[in-house]
Structure 1
Amino acid sequence: MLSHRSPSPRRRPKGAFLAGVLGAVLALLAGAAGTAAAAPPPAGERLKPGTAYMGAGQRVHGGPAAEDGPSLGALSPTTGVQGIDVSHWQGSINWTSVRNAGIQFAWIKATEGTGYEDARFGANYTGAYHAGVIRGAYHFALPNASGGAVQADFFASNGGAWSRDNLTLPGVLDIEHNPYGAMCYGLSTTQMRTWINDFHTAYKARTGRDVVIYTTASWWNTCTGNWTGMYSKSPLWVAHWTSSASPTIPSGFPTWTVWQYTSTGSVPGVSGNVDRNKFNGSRDRLLALANNTP
C-alpha cells in the first residue's frame, strides 16, 4: 500500500542555510529601504520618464535664468501660512509630525504625462488628510506627449479630483522647464498657449475648479510669450528660490497665490530636503481656496 506521508525534507548543507538566512535579511533591508527617501539625481542630470517633480526642470537645466535663483534654504522666508510639496522622492512621510511642525497645506504628485502615476500618491494623500493637512494633487505636464485635454482627464481620473470637504485643494498643473529635453517641449508659444488652455478647460469640466498653475517666470515668459490669457482664470503658484521679500512672477499674472521659495527646506516627518511653500494670505483664505468660496 502506498504511503501518503510526505517524504522527509532533505537536510540542507550548513553553508546553504546561512546563505538563505542572509538572503532573507538582505531582502527585508531592501524592502525597508524602499520606503525611505531617495535622493533625486544631481543637478544637471537627466531623469527617467515618470520621475519628474516640482522644480526638476530647473535643476536639470542648471538654473536656466538668474531670476529663478539658487535654492537658499534656511535664508528663505518661513513666516506666514506654510506648506510643502512632495512626491515619491520623499519616501514614507510622517504626516502627523508634518502637521505638528506647523505645515498647513501640501500638494502631492499624482500623475505625469499620460501614463505615469506616482507610487506614493495614495499613501501621501490619505496620510495628509488624516493628519489634518489641507492637501491637493499635482500633475507634471508633458506637452509633447499628448494634447492638454487628454492629460487633464488622466489627472482628474487618477488623484486630481476635488471635493468640498475643508481639506482638499484644487489640482495643480506643474508646467516648467522640460527635465527630459528641449525647454519648451518643442512647442511654439501659440501651441503652448493652446495646450494650457485645453488642459484648464478639460480639468474644469471634470472638477468644477480652475486649475492652479505652477511655473517659473523664465519658463512662462519664454514658452508662452508673456501670455496674459490665464491671469483671470488660474491662481499662480510661482517658483522663485530666493530670500527676497517677494518672488519674481511671470508676465501676465497680477500676483501670486503660492510661492515655492526653496528646494532645500527641512520639515520634521520628512526625510531629506523638501520644497517649502508660502500661501499669500491667511488660513481663512487658504480654506476659501480649498472650498471654492469668495
Structure 2
Amino acid sequence: MTDYGIDVSHWNPVNDWNAVRGNGITYCSFKLTEGTGYTDRTSGPRVPAARLAGVVPGGYHFARPGNADAQADHFASHLRQNNLHTNGSLAPMLDMEAAELRGTANDFVPRFIARLRAATGVHKVLVYANLDWFTHVLNPGKWADDGVLLWIARYNGNPGNPGWTHPKLALHQHTQTGTVPGIGGSVDRNATIGQFALSHLTINGGNAPAPQPVPPTPTPPTPPTDTEIYTVRAGDTLSAIAARYGTTVGALAALNGISNPNRIYAGQKIRIRGGTAGGQRYQVRSGDTLSGIAAKFGTTVAALASRNNIANPNRIQAGQWLTIP
C-alpha cells in the first residue's frame, strides 16, 4: 500500500493539520536548516500540531557548499530542539540540490551522515535529490549503507513510479504543485515506492524490505524528431529560456526533472521539447475541470478530450488519469 506525504518550508502556509491528515497525508518533512547559519523558524511551532493530528513529522537540511560537519551539527541541534531525533519520527533528510556541490557531493554526503549520526544517535537517514543528480552526480554505492534510503524528485504525475530504480529508493516526490486541504497554495507531494512503507522511513521503525531484482533497463526509445536540447549559459534563468522557446517554466521543469526552477547552472542540458507528447500524465483532483487542466498545461479542452476519449468534457472525476497531449 502506498503511503502519501508532504514536505514543507516557510513557503507553505499550513492552516489545518487535521484537514491535511484527512486527505490521506501520513508524514511530513519540515525544513529546519540550511548551510551553517539559516534556520526555518516556521517549522518548530508546526511540528507538535502535525504530530497531534496524526501526521508523522521529520526534519530536513538543505546542503550548501562548506563544512559538512558544521552543517550536520547545525541540523542536529534543531532536530533535538524539535524532538525529531526520537523514535517514531520520520528519519532526518539531507537535501542535495545546490549546484555548487555537484563536484564534491559524494564526499560531502558520507561525511555529513557520519557526523549527524554521532551527534543524534539516529542511524537512519534519507538522502533527497532529483533525477539529474541521481543519474549524473550522486553515487549511492559509495555511501548508501544499511541505514540510508533514497528520495527522488521527478515530477511525472505518476506517484510511486519515478521511472528510475535503485534498491534503496523509498520515496518519490511526484509534484511540486500539489494541493492539500488545510495548506494554502501549492505543496510538494510524495509517495512511497514499491514495498517501502512509512514504517521503513521512521526512526527505529522496520528494516527496509529485501531488495527486489531490478529488471533489465530497456533500450531507450528514439527521441522524437522535434526534440531540442539547450545548453544553459551563465546568467540564464529557466523563465527566460521558457519565454525564448514559447513554453512554460512548469513544462521545462517537469520535462527535465528540475526540482527547483530557480536553480539551474551553466553547462546544464535542458530539453526544450520532445519526449512529452502523449507521455505526461495528470490525476484529476476534486474540484478540477477539464478547462482548468487544459489551461494549466497549455493545451485545449478539445485536445484533452480527444486524447483521452472523453465524450462529455463536463464530466471528469477525481482519481481519473489523463494523458496530456
Equivalent positions of 1:274-293 (< 5 A) are: 274-280=187-193, 285-292=197-204, 293=206
Look up the SS of the partner of 1:90 in the other structure: coil
Cα offsets for 1:191-210 (capped at 9, x unmatched): 32111110010111122223
Bigger relative contact order (CA 8 A; separation at least 6): 1
**Partner Cα distance (2:135, 2:37) in 1:** 28
2:161 to 246, 254, 275: 246
1:118 paired with 2:40, answer yes
Question: What is the identity, as a one-letter code, of the residue corresponding to 1:240?
Answer: R
Look up the SS of the partner of 2:136 in the other structure: helix
- Unaligned runs of at least 5 residues, structure 2: 208-325
Task: Single out whichever of 120-129 and 153-162 deviates more from structure 2.
Answer: 153-162
**Which structure's residues are more often strand, by fraction?**
2
1:100–1:107: structure 2 CA closer, same or farther, 3 Å change rule? same
1:217 to 131, 145, 157: 131
1:234 paired with 2:155, answer no
**Structure with bigger gyration radius:** 1
Task: Single out whichever of 85-94 and 107-116 deviates more from structure 2.
Answer: 85-94
1:172–1:290: structure 2 CA closer, same or farther, 3 Å change rule? same
Equivalent positions of 1:63-74 (< 5 A) are: none
Question: What is the identity, as a one-letter code, of the residue corresponding to 2:70?
Answer: V
1:231–1:125: structure 2 CA closer, same or farther, 3 Å change rule? same
- Unaligned runs of at least 5 residues, structure 1: 1-78
Shift of 1:255: 4.2
**Partner Cα distance (1:256, 1:187) in 2:** 20
Look up the SS of the partner of 2:163 in the other structure: coil
Equivalent positions of 1:1-294 (< 5 A) are: 80-142=2-64, 144=65, 146-159=66-79, 161-164=84-87, 166=88, 168-176=89-97, 178=98, 183=99, 185=100, 188=103, 191-207=104-120, 208-224=122-138, 226-232=139-145, 233-244=147-158, 246-249=161-164, 253-280=166-193, 285-292=197-204, 293-294=206-207
Shift of 1:169: 1.0
1:70 corresponds to:
none
Identity of aligned residues (%): 34
Shift of 1:217: 2.3
Look up the SS of the partner of 2:169 in the other structure: coil
The TM-score with structure 1 as length reference comes to 0.62
Work out whether residues 221 and 227 of structure 1, in 8 Å CA contact, stay in contact via their aligned partners in 2: no
Cα offsets for 1:21-51 (capped at 9, x unmatched): xxxxxxxxxxxxxxxxxxxxxxxxxxxxxxx
Cα offsets for 1:229-286 (capped at 9, x unmatched): 1333410111010034611337xx4242111000111000000101110023679x41
**Partner Cα distance (1:214, 1:268) in 2:** 25
Work out whether residues 257 and 279 of structure 1, in 8 Å CA contact, stay in contact via their aligned partners in 2: yes
Q: How many matched pairs?
A: 200
Shift of 1:228: 1.8
Work out whether residues 264 and 274 of structure 1, in 8 Å CA contact, stay in contact via their aligned partners in 2: yes
**Partner Cα distance (2:140, 2:153) in 1:** 17
Work out whether residues 161 and 193 of structure 2, in 8 Å CA contact, stay in contact via their aligned partners in 1: no
Look up the SS of the partner of 2:185 in the other structure: coil
Shift of 1:291: 4.0
Work out whether residues 106 and 143 of structure 2, in 8 Å CA contact, stay in contact via their aligned partners in 1: no
1:259–1:198: structure 2 CA closer, same or farther, 3 Å change rule? same
Question: What is the identity, as a one-letter code, of the residue corresponding to 1:158?
Answer: H
Question: What is the identity, as a one-letter code, of the residue corresponding to 2:27?
Answer: F
